Structure 1
């Protein structure tokens, strides 16, 4: 029950945070800093998703405790995405794979963030069960949310 309450609270926070109007970067320097910070969040997400994918595919030894740790980190990072994508950098020439759609379609982007928050919470719950099949399915759910966001909001 506590996990569910935390997920609901996090979802409400995410909707409120991303529902606010994005701020445009005031200069190239501001856009570069905002981009660096945004990319840091996604880099950390990737560093936690990689081992999960490896475990799900049998390339890394399966460890439910490590799954739980990575799931918690992904969940926590998902709650930061809205903050670190609030600065619209699209008016400046910064090196990024982020599509302008992040700021043009804030409701759709917010939904993707919420999906990741929910999927990572589900993975945390599955990890506690110790059921390898259930955990692998939940890892797939997190991976699906990542891929869906990449499809919609990240340049190839």
Structure 2
């Protein structure tokens, strides 16, 4: 059984991603913003079912959970190249805050933390999992890494 705080974290992250996340603004799919949104939508496509399994909204299936974790790990490097310096002549909507560029070291540190958390989750699931308790702390670390980046670097 999950603690109330675990359920709150999972619910808040899912709601945040759905309401403010990936693709809430229309962008040219060939632009950096559009490509970034496409990758973050893929993140959500894997994170949401895992969060659903841990919150009890979906039945827990260790193999399916592990598959999502593995696919999330494969994507962990993908969106970061799509953060070019902003161009005042580019009319594309952009949800990244200026701090992505003005605090590039802080942004890079949070990316590294996210990638490490996803790698840890994938490693844990690769050995096979039987229960949500085996992956809850690792999934919370992934979700907290997502939240930290959104809190500091996203509109």
Residue 66 of structure 1: which of 64, 67, 82 is its match? 64
* 4+ aligned runs moved over 2 Å, structure 1: 89-94
Gaps of at least 5 residues in structure 2 are 1-26
- Report the secondary structure of 1:88's partner residue: coil
Aligned residues between the structures: 126
Give 1:151 deviation, angstroms.
0.5
- Report the secondary structure of 1:114's partner residue: helix
Cα distance in structure 2, aligned partners of 1:76 and 1:112: 18
Q: Calculate the aligned-residue CA RMSD, in Å.
A: 2.3
Q: Which has the higher contact order (CA 8 A, sep 6+)?
A: 1
Gaps of at least 5 residues in structure 1 are 1-28
1:106 alignment counterpart: 104
Structure showing the higher helix proportion among its residues: 1
1:95 alignment counterpart: 93
1:147 alignment counterpart: 147
Mark the CA change 1:96 to 1:131 in structure 2 (over 3 Å): closer, same or farther. Answer: same
Q: Compute the TM-score of the two structures, normalised by the length of structure 2.
A: 0.72
